[in-house]
Structure 1
Amino acid sequence: MKESKASHDHSDELVKNVALRLRLNDGPSAMGSASKKPTKPASTKTPVKSETPRPTGLTRLAQHSAGTTALARLRDLSSSAVLVLFTPLMVPSGFTGRDRAVAKTSQIRSKKLDTDPFEMLGIALSKQHPRVRHVPYVPTVGFTETHHVFAMKADALLVVAAQPDSLGKGSGAESSTPKDAYLALQADFITQVSEALKEADRHENVPMVALRFGEDALPLETVTYKDIWAGETYTKESVQQITQLLFGSNRRADEKE
């Protein structure tokens, strides 16, 4: 069903508010004025699993020139470069912690947003790079003007997709959207980010990496970015592993000038 304009504007404002609360650096807000970027309707087609054998290690690296250089360019970012992290507004499979019960309580909307499970990933990244902008997205809403503004200001982009912890419980999109369709919505968001960079002629200058937590079944088309499978569940251990892969185990933000 098509979203009404009022509903879309409300969701866009919600994403803006959450982005401000979860911003991990102490610099000025990364948001500025920009022309409205039309959003493309997200596909709800059920993803088809690839015939390619399942990866046995931490990652399955995309075989294309843009992807093979993305990690090297990410590790070579200067300390003044802006690293934007887009994460889905949801509780991912495998997430545990003292705020888990609050995060899954749909009745307490504000606390659910304040305890975003992906803040753990954002904090881990901020220990490796000093300027991280953590911005959530709502899979059922898709790529909004807010995300377009952040993408245009980014020097590097990390976009996360994850399998939901549960479907059919509580309220919200998770309860009414089948799991496969929900994964497809996240895949569409990743594609829209990549297309926005390409349309702005920034895809060759801004390294983009897609991180996937959950079953290795997202229908991604890795043309201008690297696709990394980060593990079956989103846990403290998988976050540590993916952070080491992205930046190298010995990398420190203050090593870059």
Structure 2
Amino acid sequence: MPCFVSESQLWLHLTIVACAGKVLPMAGAPLTRLGRSECALVSKRTGAAFQSACNPPTHSLGEASSSSSSSSTAGSTNLASTIRDSPNWLARFSNLQEHDILLLITPVVIPISQDPADTTDPFEPLGRAIASRHGKVRQVPYTQRNGITSTHLGFIKRATIIILCLALRRDHPLQLESAHITLAVCEAKPCIIVICAPHASDLDLPFPTVIHTNGYSPRALEATANLLFRERGRANMSNKAPDSDQHPRPKLWSVTEWNAEKDISSVWDLWTLNVSGISGYFSLDARTLASLLHRPGYAKHYTVCDPRGEEVIGFCATYLSYVDQEGEKLLASIAILLVRSPYQNQGVGLSLFSHVVDQLKKTRGVVRIQLGSTFPRILYGPPKGINLNQNWFRRRGWEMDKDRAGQGRAVYDLVREIPDMKEIDMLFPSPTRPSLNFRPCLDADVASVLAMVDQVCTRESKLGWFDQYSSLTNNSNRNDIMLGVETGQIVAAALTYTPGCGSAIASNLPWAGRVGPDVGGVACICTLETSAEVLGPFTVGLLGACSKKLASQGMRKIFLDGISDNINDFKRLDFKEWAQYKDVWKDL
């Protein structure tokens, strides 16, 4: 019986072969950096093409082969020119179909302005210029440190043509390794290498199709787009201002409620492009993201679509959660605000943000709006490592550069190895108070636990925590609540969870499970200790008890989320920073 292999199966096979037997996670899994030495395709289907790609006909950079369409921008000062196009891949841009996807892979570089307050992506003009000529463009950045990762592989798989930009920067050579890797895994798809450097004549560039761009100024990148689409009459932009239609003015866009079934694929693309692809953290597969967004009755999400093809170009996720056990006050969370790169600075984000804030302010009971989310905890707040235009938010009344609650105070997710039992006792010594002990929650404890949690949450403004305890006390997962009890009084509590426990807290806090399948979490630590100067015996003893419980469940690491106080004390206990956020909210 013949065996039919699907395209996706063939891709997986080629990826395994290319990486010398190392199975690489696709987009949505933790990032894996690829090395050039690992990329050696031997598939019969792609072997010849790959050999041609990595060993093109040799000729000098100024020489055009018989199959090359060497060209340059008009005029004496060339902003963009074709060094080589042996396989005639540039001709493909003249015959694009509507469904073809162009993948633009660009380096994370310092803006030309050198202004620390400038958070714009210098390669955004290239993405916009290409998007103005073709509707389906995906711009994915890569960093000097990580290079091409498994996230990029997922986009390369779906792309029709790949455009990889390499930038020559001070004290950093061109990342030619990234080009070698991209060519090795692109399955003979057209792969255009764009060299952004003042001069290219002294560079060894053994790639089939190479374009040289005089740096990465907006004009040079616009000239590159003209060259790709063979608009030679417009190619020399050195003495002309950019066309006004390439930089459209911001406008008001139509905002609609999202359609989960139709929009999840585009929203996941947006997440990967804007968050996990840049930071190297926060990688989510589409199913997990869909689960986090699906909160009937407690969530409303909104989209802005490209009127040309109904593709989602902007997305905003919002949630509501109860503040306390009274059930009258609500915390509103603006959990995600994402805009596709070619449409940024055109009013998409402002249209979404204004609509969402207006809707939340009209909702009865909302007393606070948070940038980020409590539960489900997608991102606690604006994360470190992802560019955020703070001036844009500041003009709208949001402070995020002060060391104060709600105005930019640092909040951390922490992780550490769980030591063996003997070391746990040394690291988290039991208090010298014989009347204090730690144990799981029992049925008889429920009322006292909720009363203590409500007291602490009110005192410390831990909004949304009460709901998490309440959801566990009503089912069989109540023993996932670890308690500190002294002379019959509950003085401390924390929620524990593992990736597969099935509790509400595990479904609301995804990141421990994304770190690894053997990572258990501890959340919402509440104690009656009033001193915020040091970790008290209730907290230390509680951490020890939680560590033992998670170790007994097969966990090897412990993950703490949303820690804002006593961070140095936690680090002295060998907890390592996994992520950092800004705590940003406004009371209404």
TM-score, with structure 1 as normaliser: 0.58
- Taking the aligned partners of 2:83 and 2:60, their CA distance within structure 1 comes to 16
Q: Which structure has the highest strand share of the two?
A: 2
Match of 2:127 among 94, 113, 122: 122
The change in CA–CA distance for 1:63 and 1:240 in structure 2 (over 3 A counts) is closer
Q: Give the counterpart letter for 1:130 in structure 2.
A: G
TM-fit CA distance, 1:52? 5.0
Report how many residues are paired. Answer: 173
Matched, 1:161 2:166: yes
Matched, 1:187 2:176: yes
The change in CA–CA distance for 1:85 and 1:218 in structure 2 (over 3 A counts) is farther
Check the 8 A contact 1:191/1:221 in 2, yes or no. no
- Taking the aligned partners of 2:90 and 2:36, their CA distance within structure 1 comes to 30
Q: CA RMSD in A?
A: 3.2
TM-fit CA distance, 1:74? 2.2
Check the 8 A contact 1:87/1:134 in 2, yes or no. yes
Match of 1:82 among 63, 86, 101: 101
Q: Give the counterpart letter for 1:62 in structure 2.
A: R
Which structure's relative contact order is higher, taking Cα pairs within 8 Å and 6+ residues apart?
A: 1
Which residue does 1:236 correspond to in 2? 218
Tell which deviates more after alignment, 50-59 or 69-78. 50-59
Q: Give the counterpart letter for 2:206 in structure 1.
A: E
The change in CA–CA distance for 1:153 and 1:162 in structure 2 (over 3 A counts) is same
Check the 8 A contact 2:31/2:151 in 1, yes or no. no
Note the 1:100-115 alignment, pairs <5 A.
100-103=115-118, 112=119, 115=120
Show structure 1 runs of 5+ residues with no match.
1-30, 43-49, 104-111, 168-177
Check the 8 A contact 2:167/2:196 in 1, yes or no. yes
TM-score, with structure 2 as normaliser: 0.27
Matched, 1:62 2:81: no
Check the 8 A contact 1:82/1:132 in 2, yes or no. yes
Matched, 1:71 2:60: no
The change in CA–CA distance for 1:32 and 1:142 in structure 2 (over 3 A counts) is closer
The change in CA–CA distance for 1:35 and 1:136 in structure 2 (over 3 A counts) is closer
Check the 8 A contact 1:187/1:219 in 2, yes or no. no
TM-fit CA distance, 1:63? 5.6
1:175-199 residue CA offsets vs partner (Å, 9 max, x unmatched): xxx333xx2xx211011000112xx
Check the 8 A contact 1:74/1:207 in 2, yes or no. no
Check the 8 A contact 1:187/1:218 in 2, yes or no. no
Check the 8 A contact 1:83/1:154 in 2, yes or no. yes
The change in CA–CA distance for 1:100 and 1:85 in structure 2 (over 3 A counts) is farther
- Taking the aligned partners of 1:123 and 1:63, their CA distance within structure 2 comes to 24
Which residue does 1:39 correspond to in 2? 34
Match of 1:220 among 205, 211, 225: 205
The change in CA–CA distance for 1:131 and 1:60 in structure 2 (over 3 A counts) is closer
Matched, 1:246 2:228: yes
- Taking the aligned partners of 1:63 and 1:131, their CA distance within structure 2 comes to 23
Check the 8 A contact 2:122/2:217 in 1, yes or no. no
TM-fit CA distance, 1:137? 0.5
Give the secondary-structure state (helix, strand or coil) at the position aligned to 1:143: coil
Q: Give the counterpart letter for 1:61 in structure 2.
A: I
Check the 8 A contact 2:101/2:138 in 1, yes or no. yes
1:22-48 residue CA offsets vs partner (Å, 9 max, x unmatched): xxxxxxxxx856898761169xxxxxx
State which structure, 1 or 2, has the greater radius of gyration over its C-alpha atoms.
Answer: 2
- Taking the aligned partners of 2:230 and 2:62, their CA distance within structure 1 comes to 26
TM-fit CA distance, 1:88? 0.5
Which residue does 1:10 correspond to in 2? none
Runs of 4+ residues deviating >3 angstroms: 31-38, 50-58
TM-fit CA distance, 1:102? 2.2
